[in-house]
Structure 1
Amino acid sequence: MKMNKFLFLGAISASLFFSSCSSDDDNINVEASTNYENGVFVLNEGNFGKNNSTVSFIDEGYSSITNNIFSNVNNEDMGDTGQSMEFYNDYALIVMNASNILQIVNKNTFELVYTVEGDLNNPRHVAAYNGKAYVTNAADFSLSDDDYVAIIDLETFEVENKIIVGTKIENIEEDNGLIYIQGSSFGDGNSIHVLDPSSNTISYTYTTNVGLRSFDISNSNLIAISDTQLQVFDINSKEALSTIDFPEDISGTKFLEIEDGIVYFVSGKSVYAISENNLELPDEPLFSMDEVNTLYAFDVEDDMIWTGDAKDYASAGAVRLYSLSGELMKQFTTEISPNGFYFND
């Protein structure tokens, strides 16, 4: 493993370029800041094998963006294929898929604290709980029986355990002291596994519809979306509560998000919204994201819908913020393939 403690504590150049756009794409320049509290991190995946992953920061007022903050602060590249991020206390944990590392930075200054190397193999997503990071690893993409969760002690930064799950795995989420693991990858799979941190064992497995794409947890509901269905499970009784079958004109569903009692998901460029208390599919989508070329990230926060557009996966991407009714509110230029939003508030 490699130790990197606050490698670059000096002043950063004051001539960094920030691009901020409203819907009319006007760019402005503002001075850089080394304080990244109360804003939004955008993880830019970059290109596989090119070592060009970056993180952008959108300020609290959503008025400006600065790109490549990891390199600006630490004077080194972040790594290859930034896959996902998670916060834990003062840490931001950044999964670098092709580099097989976990970058740990201070979430308010973005100074590098530690680089976890070794015992990670095709890492994908990370959750954190009670002083531990739980990282899903796909290992050999062609196999399903070698996928595992690496458990990292966030005091020693050592990988202290590896839990073989037994299916392909992808997303991971902590809720009420349990770790939920998506038992599918790119729509190949139909399960959600519950890892009990007290015993480091899989305590329960939900069986979902085939083609599982995404899941989220709200209150006592575990909601899963697949290619053809939306399903609701009670996490206390483990019972299936309801199922919505999608019509033929709703396909390629993805990006399930639950915010303020509303279940959001995407089909093509259309955003759908369903009340969590009245799970009935609407006749029409909420709106269509006509400006988006290649939807690569989606979130709902602060009464806005956040989208990341990878465009051609090679040139600068775009972040667009919509009102909940679909009005385009803000637009920012990012770096290559923005794939996730992380709200530091």
Structure 2
Amino acid sequence: MIDTAPRILPVFDSPSRPKWLVEAAKAAASASFADRSRTEWPDKVGYACERLLELTGRGSDCLPPICDPKALLVAETGSGGHDFGVALAGELLGEMVGRLSFSFGDDEICRDAYPVLWDMALDECGNDPDMPEPPDPILFDHSIHLSEACKDGPPWPSGLHYASHAVMEFAHHASAYSSHGLGLAHAAPVPVLWPPPDAPPSLVSARRALSEALENATVSQDEYTAKLHAFLSARDNPNLPDPTVAEADQVSAALRDWNDSVIPAARGLATATYAHAWEWASSDHDRWDLGVVLYAHTEAFLSVHHLRQATDAYDLTDAACCSYAWWWCHDRELDVASLRETVSTW
């Protein structure tokens, strides 16, 4: 039997992903990004590996800090069969990839993929009498990167969010109804096979699981979103009456239902989409190319774009990115020292 379930990042503070492991990876990643002298991606990851080896205090053994005797005992005795050396490498790579700052990266890819739709959305924005101001002319100039156009913001150029939303909405539907499950396949950062391969069973299964979770939720997505926004507005706006106990209970019940069913399914879809996009667009599966990382991140975000008003779609996407990094290291049995050697070839 083929396992079609996407491989999800283990839960924080679980036996295979304990708190000390996560905190050590975060500290090493923070040290690397704080070192402004290192600008090249391989150098930054390699330096983070060195810092993590120093933080663990055990060289290439990749064991937890001596100051945590309980965690050290668990790791040294191999309790539960967990390979903490490999887990540390996966956690670190996930932290490094998740911290990459691609300002307006998703928007840029969407604009490059659908330039005509982008301009049409800006024109529509300009003709909308309810818009406070016409779109900024700089957004029509596709020779200027959005990061450059937005360097003086906020406030961002007028019309940016309107155009981005229109394109992302279209790209989401394109991926949701396509056989390969990618909405921006023609905007991949490297020359790839065309057409893309059909969506793998894991992606098809994840898409179905999210649809079923939404259909079987206690309240519909629109109703859930409306209830949540109304509750937050009443709670945080001093000019509105506070929500009643009954309203608070209703929102709490809907939130529990959403977190128990929809969020796990959405995380699964984002994870499956990221893996499919990364594996298809990567010309070398043994290296992490920044363009591929951004492309896969955008595809994963688009897969859950329709949930953006009800939950943090970017958080789901970042988790999907970290999940893939975690399992990428596990599949290759890379501990931190091995990851550092691998990075040197990037």
When normalised by structure 2's length, the TM-score is 0.25
Which structure shows the higher helix fraction? 2
Larger radius of gyration: 2
Task: Pick 1 or 2: higher relative contact order, CA cutoff 8 A, min separation 6.
Answer: 2
Which structure shows the higher strand fraction? 1
When normalised by structure 1's length, the TM-score is 0.26
